[in-house]
Structure 1
Amino acid sequence: MKQSTVGVLTIGQSPRVDVTPSIQHILGDGVTIIEAGGLDHVAIEEMASISPDASDITYISRLRNGSSVKIGKSKLLPLLQKELQELEEKTSAVIMLCTGDFPTIQSRKPIIYPDKVLNSTVGAIMEKGTLGLIIPLEEQRNTLVKKWANDKLDLKVEVASPYEESDVFGAARRLRAQGASLIVMDCMGYNEAHKKDAVEGSGLPVILPRTLTARIVAEYIS
């Protein structure tokens, strides 16, 4: 199937100059990327309105000015849906630039969820054993442990944000010490340099969702 235009939908603000070049490199120059973001039409002074409540699921993403913001999932969903509807008019397929799950999002075009790609890939690689997760925020720990829960997998979790100075090397080393045999960096904000630090810190295979997802999309559109 030949497709030349792919959408990238971030939960923060577009353009994601910190992520899209990695995806473009894998898709190739013959593919046009069009970006949109759930917070594209939310002004800086309005950001408090999308902050997570105590009972909400917390996400974190990047704003256009380079800063990061915590987002409540319940407040994000209608904003994402609106941006997706407009993005689908211009593209043949859309990459969701978040490893969270969004079962209520409605789409008319194929939408590739890194969450599903990650889970399927890990399931294909390891049926049982100890899986290490590196996640951006401590407040995401319980949600992500539930997401990855599997009777055959023992989960170990360390926190190291991709959006500020953090010790990815140390987090990966601690996961290795806890018995992990594979590490997943569970956020699209992690980049190739973060993966390099994780590999060097642990000596283990490390899965980076942005490049893994881009390779799946490249296969689909080729």
Structure 2
Amino acid sequence: MMKVGILTIGQSPRVDVTPAISRILGDEVEVIEQGGLDRLSEDNLLSIKPSEDETVYISKLRNGKSVRIGKTKLLPLLQEELIDLEQKVDIVIMLCTGDFPTLKTTKPILFPDQLLSNILEAVLKKNDILGIIIPLEEQRLTLIEKWQGITPTIEVEVASPYDATSDVEGAAKRLKEKGATTIVLDCMGYNEQHKNQAKKSGLPIILSSYMTTRIAQEWI
């Protein structure tokens, strides 16, 4: 049986995302989850709190709460879990759309960040406006800079997948009003429900987790 690893930057299991991934991969694939924060107790979470001017990520804990994570503090924890996970699986899916070029692995690993960039570069036209929905306001400038490598005009709305009060549908409709021609849900925490909400804008919606899983399915 083929084994696929899911590496989240938060804690596993990711009951909000992994069931959909498993459904796409099929019954003949075993999914094994690990997370960068798996070995941290709730009392130790302050150790990964973002410092000023540090790249900030957000993910989910196994108790259902969300947590902000500083990238420099996350990387060594993530590497440790990856070394362990890759001993058990044939391929790893990174459950984050962030950039992790320093991670070392001996097994194939799918980085949604790279996949999204290459696919959007292939399909967007020169004058297209890309809309992105992101979880945190603190990520706005960093993600605009990232996506401007693909297309010069970026519009951003914030609607966290970890906040039940977030208005993904409204965010998508506002992006359409700003001229966006395609919308990326730029976080692996967005699920099919969020995509269906965003589709009410009438625009094509790229769900990061779905796209990455489909590519994993083709690989296996």
TM-score, L = length of structure 1: 0.96
Number of residue pairs the alignment of both structures matches: 218
**What letter is aligned with 1:195?**
K
The answer to whether the 8 Å contact 1:127/1:153 transfers is no
1:14-33 to 2 correspondences below 5 Å:
14-33=12-31
User: What is the RMSD computed on CA atoms of the aligned residues?
Assistant: 1.0
Note the residue ranges of structure 1 that are not aligned, 5 or more in a row.
Answer: none
1:151, distance to aligned residue in structure 2 (A):
7.1
1:1-222 to 2 correspondences below 5 Å:
4-128=2-126, 129-150=128-149, 152-164=151-163, 165-200=165-200, 202-221=201-220
Equivalent-residue separation in structure 2 for 1:185 and 1:44 (angstroms)? 28
The answer to whether the 8 Å contact 1:132/1:156 transfers is yes
Partner of 1:106, secondary structure, is coil
The answer to whether the 8 Å contact 1:52/1:72 transfers is yes
Partner of 1:99, secondary structure, is coil
Partner of 2:68, secondary structure, is strand
Note the residue ranges of structure 2 that are not aligned, 5 or more in a row.
Answer: none
Partner of 1:12, secondary structure, is coil
TM-score, L = length of structure 2: 0.97
**What letter is aligned with 1:25?**
R
1:121, distance to aligned residue in structure 2 (A):
1.2
1:188, distance to aligned residue in structure 2 (A):
0.3
- Aligned-residue sequence identity (percent) comes to 58
